Amino acid sequence: MNRACIFSIQRASFVDGPGIRTAVFFKGCGLRCEWCHNPESWSSQPQLLFYQNRCMQCGRCRIACPNGAIRDDYTVKVDLCSQCGMCEQVCPGGARELCGKMMSVDEIMSEILADRDYYGPDGGVTFSGGECMLQVDALESLLRFCKREGIQTAVDTAGNVPFDLFEQIEPLTDLFLYDIKAVSSSLHKSLTGADNALILDNYRRLHQFCAEKLIVRVPVIPNRNAIDMVRIADFVGENTPVMVELLPYHAMGISKAQAFGASVLNTKPPSQAEMEDFRRLFRERKVVCV
């Protein structure tokens, strides 16, 4: 497969793995996390974002739209929108943004290769999303291309996919950034809309398979999964050695969610003291915190 639906490519990322990285964000995700700061990643199809504060109400988008999908108040009738992008092209204020487009492997690689001089021994590319493993064939092509070019690869995944997909890409992947959001099944379902049995099972199998390639990533959301942190630490601690990265909640995705018409969690980030308490839980179980 030579094409994938990508909604963002971020160069010079400091936060998507070790070293300096290019992060490629695939569109489409099986989870609906309450705190997700990329809600545009959920659907696997291109979608239209509307930034109301940039709209000058000039009407050019309504004229340009071939399907009459734009209302009088400039919001979009989603069922009529074909994501053709005409409104984005004509909007003078940049209020319309088509999020997600099909990109060829060559196009994606061109972006990845632009920064290869900055990767050094630790950095490289991280494939994330959304859930990049839902487009595993394109992902495999990209991983293969990266290996040929000598670029270190990382896959950031929620793990909610059949295990054979991991087997398919594991030989081409240097690092798995594996998200664990909750161990309690009912809590996981209420926070993400999905069961976690497959996720936890995949994690155990992946750890057996290639523990040295694993970094566990745990989002820390106060009053949400923070209450499950002891169980998460216990679970991760069952299979050592392993490294864990705790990711404190932040509110930076809220304005984007609003442009998307989604509502996402808006709460206080955890304090430094709280984060240190959580790290201690893992260290006590012989898990290394990065």
Q: Give the residues lining the site for other proteins (CB under 8 A).
A: 10-12, 14, 19-20, 58, 92-94, 114-115, 117-118, 120, 123
Rounded to an integer, what distance in angstroms lies between the CA atom of residue 91 and that of residue 51?
11
Q: Which DSSP letter does residue 54 get? A: G
> Which C-beta is closer to other proteins: that of 122 or that of 238?
122
Quote the least distance from Cβ 14 to other proteins, whole Å. 5
> Which C-beta is closer to other proteins: that of 12 or that of 78?
12
Quote the least distance from Cβ 115 to other proteins, whole Å. 5
The DSSP bridge pattern shows strands 175-179 and 96-99 to be: unpaired
Quote the least distance from Cβ 196 to other proteins, whole Å. 29
In sequence order, the 6+-apart residues with CB closer than 8 A to the CB of 164 are none
Give 156's strand partners: 177
> Which C-beta is closer to other proteins: that of 7 or that of 42?
7
By C-alpha distance, which of 165, 260, 276, 175 is closest to 220?
A: 276
Quote the least distance from Cβ 250 to other proteins, whole Å. 11
Rounded to an integer, what distance in angstroms lies between the CA atom of residue 200 and that of residue 188?
11
> Which C-beta is closer to other proteins: that of 15 or that of 211?
15
Q: Is 12 exposed, middle or buried (0-12, 13-18, 19+ CB in 10 A)?
A: exposed
Quote the least distance from Cβ 120 to other proteins, whole Å. 5
Rounded to an integer, what distance in angstroms lies between the CA atom of residue 290 and that of residue 223?
23
> Which C-beta is closer to other proteins: that of 114 or that of 230?
114
